[in-house]
Structure 1
Amino acid sequence: MKLSHKLYPFQNSDPNRKSIGDIIILHGLFGSSKNWVTVAKFLSNFGSVYAVDQRNHGDSPHAEEHSIRLMSEDLEEFIFDHKIQNPVLLGHSMGGLVAMYFDLTHPGILKKLIIQDIAPRSYPFAYDNEIQSMSFALDGYSSRTEIDSEMAKYVSDTFIRQFLQMSLERNENGKYGWKLNVNGLNHARRVFEDVFTFDTTSMTPTLFLLGGSSEYIRDSDFQVMDQFFKNNQKITIAGGGHYIHFTHQAKYLELLDRELSSIS
């Protein structure tokens, strides 16, 4: 599948600073490249950044099938089409699962792997409320405020609703619609199950950036991280949840700066 993306070319005011190479960002479930503008612009100080829309998200095509394996194949095609060599791959949540699966099945391709707040294991599809909040008919709604009020019946968290609404668009006829393939994602409820069922290991330098208060990471995950990724480092942002690139952005960018500055 040909994926849509936003390119942020390498630009640095220091003439002595050379590019570390290309950087690819993979967003999480219900996200898109739009969620990563600030991070992508920051990372363009180190190299050219490709912020990708994965299948069924953003401006990329919709498909009936949605799996980590297929998204990894989409990424392989993207890297080949854009002639990208030895990239740094940053993946958050679903994007992190895709990034880890890609690295484990494509040894020697990546220069570095950065995984945000997810572990190489199975996860339940615990997003019924989010799906319901995007499944009611939008005909007759004339404003985002009206839609938000209806969504609040299913998702009380304002932050999550605003995150979801980054995929809400209004066409030239004034009608609202979701850029997400909501129905397709709803039918992919096993997307996070039984992904890492092989014995392959990776020596790719890997950084796990974790939220200290995240519900996605448990103590036993550290062992499974070590099991698959033999050359890894783990950094936890105290008090952070699943969206540390938003909620703890200053610390998050500081850690990325330190990590990428060490790459020659």
Structure 2
Amino acid sequence: MSEPVQLSLTTRGTGAPLLLLHGLYGSSGNLNRFTRRFAHDYRVLAPDLRNHGRSPHRPGMDYPTLTEDVVALLDREGIERVAVLGHSMGGKVAMTLALTRPQRVAAVIAADIAPVTYQHNHGTLIGALQQVDVAGAGNRREVDAALAAAIDSPAVRQFLLTNLVPADEGGYRWRIPLQFLADAVPDIQGFPELEGAYDGPALFLYGTASDYFDPDRHRDAVAAYFPKAEYAALEGAGHWLHAEQPEAFAAAVERFLAHAYPAR
């Protein structure tokens, strides 16, 4: 496990703290809509996880390492106990935090993710990003067109392109360290073997059109770690459920927090 890094942080609002954790290839900016909305009732903290957004680039991205970065952030902000909402990779960080530091977690919300190992195509996606000559690209459309040969979903391409930024010397560059991410794919798709369980309130929020979470297939794994787990479905939503159905997503989170972690 590498030393914790100082995560870049966006914070808004006052009151009981609520931590928002983005997924792989994302950043705190993807959650701006929810940072603003939840800040009406909570002190919202939205960091960029390591190797994402404006946070430092370091090798090593297993979940204990990512969790230690978050613990260091909470310590730096003087937060003893927090509710945590995480999507996908961020959801696994949220679960790991709850399981390894239960005294620090008042409630946990995992968005479209389970505490299991997945076999998805992240290595293929990262490989596609690595193959594109972004330094020689004249505009973003050229990069999008080059990616289309390997990534047929326009929505996925546009999400990945949020990481494309102008380079000082002209052309573009990826702001995420692709090789670090490629090396970490087995850890990111996996989940650590942890002892014990989190006995606090937990919500597993999922999209019915997603292949990441199935309440029947994943119920035993969830129950082993989160015996008080509740479930909520967004009908027709895929894995990026918060982007596809932001109003329904926020409403489901608020319903859960209203009894599990009331604003004060």
Q: Structure 1 length normalisation: TM-score?
A: 0.92
* Structure-2 separation of matches of 1:102 and 1:40: 20
State the shift of 1:194 in Å: 5.2
What's the CA shift string for 1:217-254, capped at 9, x where partnerless? Answer: 13220121111101211111111111110111121111
Report whether the alignment pairs 1:230 with 2:224: no
Aligned with 2:51 (options 56, 60, 71): 56
* Secondary structure class of the residue paired with 2:49: coil
Unaligned residue ranges in structure 2 (runs of 5+): none
More helix by share: 2
| Contact residue 125 and residue 190 of structure 1 kept, 8 A | no
**Equivalent residue, structure 2, for 1:104:** 99
Report whether the alignment pairs 1:157 with 2:118: no
Unaligned residue ranges in structure 1 (runs of 5+): 11-18
| Contact residue 123 and residue 185 of structure 2 kept, 8 A | no
Q: Structure 2 length normalisation: TM-score?
A: 0.92
* Structure-2 separation of matches of 1:157 and 1:194: 24
* Structure-1 separation of matches of 2:206 and 2:196: 23
What's the CA shift string for 1:63-121, capped at 9, x where partnerless? Answer: 12121110011111111111112111011101111110111011221111111010011
**Equivalent residue, structure 2, for 1:186:** 182
* Structure-2 separation of matches of 1:122 and 1:133: 23
What is the 5 A alignment of 1:30-41?
Answer: 30-41=25-36
Report whether the alignment pairs 1:240 with 2:244: no
* Secondary structure class of the residue paired with 1:191: helix
**Equivalent residue, structure 2, for 1:80:** 75
| 1:108 partner amino acid | Q
**Equivalent residue, structure 1, for 2:252:** 255
Q: Which is worse superposed, 52-61 or 183-192?
A: 183-192
Aligned with 2:11 (options 7, 10, 14): 7
Number of residue-to-residue matches in the alignment: 255
State the shift of 1:172 in Å: 4.4
Report whether the alignment pairs 1:115 with 2:110: yes
State the shift of 1:35 in Å: 0.8
* Secondary structure class of the residue paired with 2:185: coil
State the shift of 1:164 in Å: 0.6
Misfit runs of 4+, over 4 Å: none
**Equivalent residue, structure 2, for 1:170:** 166
State the shift of 1:201 in Å: 0.7
Percent identity over the alignment? 29
What is the 5 A alignment of 1:125-140?
Answer: 125-135=120-130, 136-140=132-136
State the shift of 1:128 in Å: 3.0
RMSD: 1.5
* Structure-2 separation of matches of 1:177 and 1:140: 10
| Contact residue 22 and residue 85 of structure 1 kept, 8 A | no
